[in-house]
Amino acid sequence: MIQRLKNLFGLGPKTDFNDLMTNGAQIIDVRTPSEFNGGHIKGAVNIPLSNISENLNKIKKDKPVITCCASGMRSASAKSILISKGFREVYNGGGWSSLQQKIKK
């Protein structure tokens, strides 16, 4: 149970986000549109957390998914929702600005 909580909040083993991107990962930014418009990772798709269940068709199930937000709390919730909806490879990227620094372009 503790390990599941750690993994849910991105506290588990270190994730190689560059490797995920090489393998076609999609970044889902779950902040509000106004937050997203204030700055985001190039190529990220904005699906606010409150609308994620209605927009699953915008996310490919056969590719890794990296969720991000402002701090990591909403992205953890989004990860949980996506896993409950049948997505298998979902990672909490945490805050978008720190995730951007982890991804080499």
Which residue numbers are catalytic? Answer: 69
Residue 23's alpha-carbon distances to 1, 5, 77, in angstroms, are 29, 26, 23
Dihedral class, residue 52 (left if φ above 0, else alpha if ψ from -120 to 50, else beta): alpha
Q: In a 3-state reduction of DSSP, which class is residue 2?
A: helix
CA 42 to chain CA mean position, Å: 14
